[in-house]
């Protein structure tokens, strides 16, 4: 019931206002018409009364001169009888003798009122309005009778407005009948026109309500080219934009959820607590440029007092990159438990991971095997930045040799031919620094790179400090160098130093 009322609300409202407007217009028009009709009829009666009073005055002259009372009475009776609107007529001679004939019931109140009326002293016509109880208004018309400026008497007639009222009643009945027909006709026409006008509004209202309830599938189309058509086009465009925004929002939420999953995966890959390396200090730092980084590092025990250390950078920062990195971590840890050679471990991981990589996707990797008891480090690089050796006793830092190809680019045979394996023996105060290209390729406002030379200088300036302090010093120097420039790539670095 409520829904039906809502749908017909505009029709009822517009129809009601239309009917009220039409009724008001008809009432004003009818009132104006009846007013002017009454005025015109009254003027017509007055003109007719003027003609009758003049004729009566002229015809009464002879009878007054001859004092023919019978002729006067006959004259007055003829006027009252033959003129339907004349309700009384009288003649008064110079001796104030009155001859009176009335079509009204002779009543004292009528005679008194007539006697109270003024009369014309001259030849001019005098009009007065006489209100008699239970009778319509009477127009009293009087005129003096003069012959050669001598007053013979006065004539007077009373014209009733009953004829006017009767004519007006008939006219009013016609107006009411015509007005009723017009109101019904206009109401039917208005309902038809309003229905045609309201139909697209109801359609837009239903669609707007559906949109508010979440239905964005139906297109909004109105063939009209007026304001309603423009409104429909705007609403349809808005709906499609809302739909697109919802789809984008869903995609964004889905992507954010996937990114959170990838971030959690990456968070699990990064070690939060290092194993104890006897006689060594360890420092590490990782800061992704975006929500998900492409870098990864790890330090884990591989048996017989040895430890594996890896730093890697996967091309792309997507969810697939995080998953690939998780696979690399699993494969590398498994191979490191079985093989002693860093080069062989990387070669085996390359064989396993290459089928799972997308075209143009690769992983640069640096893998090291640390033997704290012997203070030796063997390493192999699969296209990654070469490690930097620094010595406190010598006060120098230098880039070690080593080359190779990134994982996932070539097959096993070629990969094994190009990869190199090296070994470094360290003494007290010596250490290694490994990092990703996010450090060397950091930019400042002049588009200058931080570069390998600055890394060496910063290491040499802090060479006597512990590994974790060296990492902090390098990161602070990168921040000072970059200034207000945003971080463009992941920053990952790892250092270990012989302290005993």
Residues 363 and 252 in one domain: no
Share of the chain above pLDDT 70, in %: 88
Q: Are residues 362 and 379 in the same domain?
A: yes
Same domain for 351 and 308, yes or no, is yes
Report whether 413 contacts 405 (CB < 8 A). Answer: no
User: Final residue of a domain: which of 135, 165, 195?
Assistant: 165
Q: Model's pTM, two decimal places?
A: 0.57
pLDDT on residue 2: 43
Q: Which range scores top for mean pLDDT: 180-184, 234-238, 362-366?
A: 362-366
Residue 62 lies in a domain: yes
Q: In 323-385, at which residue ranges do the beta strands (DSSP E only) sit?
A: 363-371, 376-382
What pLDDT shows up at residue 109?
Answer: 67
Residues 282 and 265 in one domain: no
Report if residue 194 sits inside a domain.
Answer: no
In a domain, 116, yes or no: yes
If asked whether residues 139 and 227 sit together in one domain, one would say no
Q: Does residue 451 surpass a pLDDT of 50?
A: yes
- 250 lies in the same domain as 321: no
Last residue of a domain, one of 251, 269, 287: 269
Would 178 be classed as within a structural domain? no
Total domain count, the chain? 3
Residue 262 sits in the same domain as residue 295: no
* pLDDT at residue 213 in the model: 66
What are the tens digits of pLDDT across the range 28-76?
Answer: 888 888 888 888 887 888 888 888 888 888 888 888 888 888 888 888 8
Q: Which two tokens stand for residue 412?
A: 């096993």
Q: Is the same domain home to 398 and 427?
A: yes
Q: What is the pLDDT of residue 3?
A: 47
Between CA 289 and CA 437 the distance in angstroms is 12
* 313 and 451 housed in the same domain: yes
Residues 6+ apart with CB under 8 A from 279: 372, 375, 498, 499, 500
Which one-letter DSSP state was computed for residue 157? E
In a domain, 317, yes or no: yes
pLDDT tops 90 at residue 425: yes
Position 207 in a domain: no
339 pLDDT higher than 60: yes
Q: Does residue 459 form part of some domain?
A: yes
Give the range of the structural domain holding residue 372, as residue numbers without chain letter. 270-498
CATH number of the domain to which 340 belongs: 3.60.40.10
Q: Are residues 108 and 231 in the same domain?
A: no
Tokens of residue 4, six digits: 């039906």
Across the chain, what does the average pLDDT equal?
83
Q: Are residues 222 and 150 in the same domain?
A: no
Question: Closest Cα partner for 438 from 285, 262, 210, 255?
Answer: 285
Sheet holding 430-435, edge to edge: 280-287, 491-498, 430-435, 388-391, 396-399
**168 compared with 279, residue with greater pLDDT:** 279
Domain boundary, last residue among 269, 287, 314: 269
Q: Is residue 172 part of a domain?
A: no
Is there a single domain that holds both residue 286 and residue 250?
no
A 10 A CB-CB count for 392 gives 17
CATH number at residue 79: 3.30.450.20
Q: What is the largest CA-CA distance in the chain?
A: 173
Residue 260 has what pLDDT? Answer: 78
């Amino acid at each position: 019931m409520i829904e039906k009322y809502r749908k017909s609300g505009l029709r009822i409202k517009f129809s009601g206002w239309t009917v009220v407007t039409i009724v008001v217009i008809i009432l004003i028009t009818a009132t104006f018409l009846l007013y002017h009709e009454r005025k015109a009829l009254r003027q017509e009666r007055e003109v007719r009364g003027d003609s009758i009073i003049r004729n009566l005055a002229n015809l009464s002259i002879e009878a007054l001169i001859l004092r023919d009372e019978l002729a006067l009475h006959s004259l007055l009776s003829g006027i009252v009888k033959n003129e339907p609107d004349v309700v009384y007529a009288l003649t008064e001679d110079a001796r104030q003798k009155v001859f009176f004939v009335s079509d009204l019931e002779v009543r004292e109140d009528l005679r008194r009122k007539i006697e109270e009326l003024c009369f014309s002293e001259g030849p001019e016509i005098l009009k007065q309005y006489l209100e008699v109880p239970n009778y319509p208004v009477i127009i009293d018309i009087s005129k003096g009778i003069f012959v050669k400026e001598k007053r013979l008497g006065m004539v007077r007639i009373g014209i009733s407005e009953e004829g006017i009222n009767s004519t007006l009643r008939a006219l009013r009945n016609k107006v009411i009948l015509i007005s009723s027909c017009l109101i019904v006709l206009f109401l039917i026409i208005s309902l038809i026109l309003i229905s045609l006008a309201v139909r697209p509004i109801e359609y837009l209202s239903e669609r707007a309500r559906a949109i508010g309830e979440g239905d964005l599938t139906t297109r909004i189309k109105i063939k009209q080219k007026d304001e309603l058509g423009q409104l429909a086009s705007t609403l349809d465009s808005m709906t499609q934009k809302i739909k697109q925004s919802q789809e984008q929002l869903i995609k964004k939420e889905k992507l954010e959820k996937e990114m959170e999953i990838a971030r959690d995966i990456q968070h699990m890959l990064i070690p939060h607590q290092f194993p104890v390396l006897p006689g060594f200090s360890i420092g590490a730092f990782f800061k992704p440029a975006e929500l998900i980084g492409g870098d990864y590092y790890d330090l884990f025990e591989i048996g017989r007092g040895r430890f594996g250390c890896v730093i890697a950078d996967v091309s792309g920062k997507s969810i697939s990159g995080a998953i690939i990195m998780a696979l690399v971590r699993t494969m590398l840890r498994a191979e490191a438990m079985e093989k002693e050679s860093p080069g062989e471990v990387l070669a085996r991981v390359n064989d396993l991971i290459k089928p799972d990589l997308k075209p143009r996707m690769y992983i640069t990797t640096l893998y090291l095997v640390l033997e704290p008891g012997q203070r030796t480090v063997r390493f192999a690089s699969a296209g990654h930045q070469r490690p930097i050796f620094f010595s406190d006793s010598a006060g120098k830092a230098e880039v070690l040799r080593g080359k190779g190809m990134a994982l996932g680019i070539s097959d096993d045979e070629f990969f094994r031919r190009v990869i190199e394996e090296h070994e470094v023996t360290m003494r007290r105060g010596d250490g290694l620094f490994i990092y990703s290209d996010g450090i060397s390729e950091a930019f400042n406002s002049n588009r200058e790179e931080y570069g390998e030379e600055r890394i060496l200088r910063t290491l040499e300036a802090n060479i006597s400090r512990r590994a974790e302090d060296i990492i902090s010093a390098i990161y602070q120097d990168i921040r000072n160098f970059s200034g207000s420039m945003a971080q463009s790539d992941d920053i990952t670095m790892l250092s270990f130093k012989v302290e005993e």
